[in-house]
Amino acid sequence: MSDKIYVLIDHENGQIATSSLESLSFGRELSRELRMSLCAFVLGLKVQGVADKLASESVDTVILVQDSKLGQYDPDYYCEAICQIMAKDSPYILLMGHTYQNIDLAPKLAARLNTALVTGCKGYRRQEETLLFVRQMFHNQLNADVFIKSAHPWIITMQPGAIDVDNSQRVNTEIVEGVVNLSAVVRCRQSLEIFEAIRVKVDLSRAERIVAVGRGIQEANNLKIIEDLAEELGAEIAASRPVVDNEWLGRERQIGSSGQTVSPRLYLACGISGAVQHIVGMKNSECIVAINTDPNAPIFNIATYGIVGDICEVVPELTKRLKVVRKS
């Protein structure tokens, strides 16, 4: 085992995912605490630009693994590539964001490496010489300290929005080319097809702006006003569970304990009362704007701004005013 902490970097179109920047921030804090070096781990094809961006972050090393089979996410190729690199330089911990892709990848890695996996962590604490990872349970009503008994490397996924992104910079980062051989990988076609069915839709954890709709929309035909507002804001559309259960929007757009967890810069909650199951999935949003007819709706307790009114009246007017502002 080496005295290194690895952070697996998610990226798309040359941009580093926010969840990975958060994981890097956590890794920096942990590396200082444990006096270890921090390595960013990039997989892909033609992703030198991502590695160059990471070189401006406060990391000691960027491990760059490029292969034609890594051009898009495939759990079998990704798992094999990571295992080959980690076999050469077994890290103390492998960190990654708790995203759709990594929820698929992390258990496969843990099983392959016969090691511990702790998902959805929000931090850590020291108890004398023991390192404990903190994760929330029972719809975020309880913090649990997780003590790991297995051998290293441990695999930890970080809850989106739990860690602030810092702007630390380093000038002497080393970029290292990692070499892997993926010719003998046996692919699990069925598992890949299942994952692709989800992946091709939307990963809301990457969105900077989200317009979420709840049962206050009343019927599917009214979703057009939500679509218009989202288009005007350049936002993704999300939903609470009642909207998904009615099949007005797909389950991949559900926010909450049985859906995705997000932390966008703007979260616009339209007709969402604020059940705890929904709030746990979006409460770390930077700015929350709530629109609801009920002035006592729980959503207003966490909202940055609140509007008491019918979304079928408020949302079209908001869209109209945004158009005016954009034209001015």
Task: Look up the CATH number of the domain holding residue 16.
Answer: 3.40.50.620
> How far is it, in rounded angstroms, from Cα 228 to Cα 266?
16
Same structural domain, 139 and 170? yes
CB 256 within 8 A of CB 240: yes
Query: Do 270 and 170 share a structural domain?
Result: no
Identify the CATH number of the domain in which residue 261 sits: 3.40.50.1220
What is the Cβ-side half-sphere exposure of residue 160, based on CA atoms within 13 angstroms? 29
Predicted model pTM: 0.74
Choosing from 199, 225, 253, the residue where a domain stops is 199
Single residue among 160, 175, 199 that ends a domain in this structure: 199
Amino acid at 195: F
Segments forming the whole domain that contains residue 224: 204-327
On whether both 139 and 275 belong to a single domain, the answer is no
Q: Which two tokens stand for residue 266?
A: 């703007």
Indicate whether 166 and 226 sit together in one domain. Answer: no
Which tokens hold the place of 1? 């085992």
**109 plus 150 within the same structural domain:** yes
What total of structural domains would you count in the chain? 2
Q: Which two tokens stand for residue 131?
A: 């390192």
Q: What is the largest CA-CA distance in the chain?
A: 61
Name the 3-class secondary structure at 178.
coil
pLDDT in tens, the chain (328 residues): 679 999 999 998 898 988 899 999 999 999 999 999 999 999 999 999 999 999 888 899 999 999 999 998 899 999 999 999 999 888 999 999 988 789 889 999 999 999 999 998 989 999 888 999 999 877 667 889 999 998 899 999 998 777 877 766 666 788 999 999 999 887 775 555 555 545 545 778 878 999 999 999 999 999 999 999 999 999 999 999 999 999 999 988 999 877 888 889 999 999 999 998 899 889 889 999 999 999 999 999 999 999 999 999 999 999 999 998 888 7
